[in-house]
Each structure stands twice: as structure tokens, then as C-alpha cells.
Amino acid sequence: MAKWEGFSKCPGCGFEITTGEGARGCSWGDCPYLPEELNVFCDYCRFNFFTMEGNPPCEDPLTCEHGKEPLEHVTNLKKWAEPRMPTQEAAEPQA
């Protein structure tokens, strides 16, 4: 098992790694413990390659030279997030 596969957020941290949103449990802007293999944000403009959201200065973030490494991490983040995401059944209100 790779080190990033065992990563877990700190207790009390509301930072949503997949979206980059949420209240952080510490004073850090980005999670200082996040393994590099799960970092899907462009180091230059903070474009999120997992959600494909952001305001990149480049014309096409998918072909930008700064996006090569974060794009490679998207697969890791999907694998890491899959067992942690609520199922459709759990998200539906109970009758």
C-alpha cells in the first residue's frame, strides 16, 4: 500500500481535499500533511484538476506545462476518495 492510500484528515478538520473547500482545523492554507501524490492543484494558479474548477491564466489547463504533475495525481485522489464518499442510498432522505 502506498503512503497516500493510508492518509486521513486530522480530527476536527473540515477541509474537503477533493474540492479545496471547507473549514480547516488549523491555520494552514493548504493541508501540510497532504501527500504530494494526492495534490491535484496547480502550484502556479491553484486550478483544481479533480473538479476542473478554477481561474487558470493559461488557455487550456489540460495542456499547460504546470498541470502535468497534478493531472497524474487525479487518479490517486479518485482511488483515495472513493471509499470515503457517501453512497447514493445514504444521501437520499429516509421516507
Give a yes or no: residue 46 inside a domain: yes
Based on the number of CB atoms within 10 Å of its own CB, is 74 exposed (0-12), middle (13-18) or buried (19 or more)?
middle
Give a yes or no: residue 52 inside a domain: yes
Q: What is the pLDDT of residues 12-35, one digit of tens each?
A: 888 888 877 888 878 777 788 889
Give a yes or no: residue 87 inside a domain: no
Beta-bridged to residue 48, according to DSSP, are: 41, 53
Average pLDDT over residues 51-71: 92
Give a yes or no: residue 75 inside a domain: yes
Give a yes or no: residue 92 inside a domain: no
Q: How confident is the model at residue 36 (pLDDT cuts 50, 70, 90)?
A: very high
Residue 49 near residue 70 (C-beta atoms within 8 A) = yes
The parent domain of residue 58 ranges over 36-82
Give a yes or no: residue 19 inside a domain: no
Number of domains in the chain: 1
| pTM: predicted TM-score of the whole model, two decimal places | 0.77
Q: How confident is the model at residue 81 (pLDDT cuts 50, 70, 90)?
A: confident
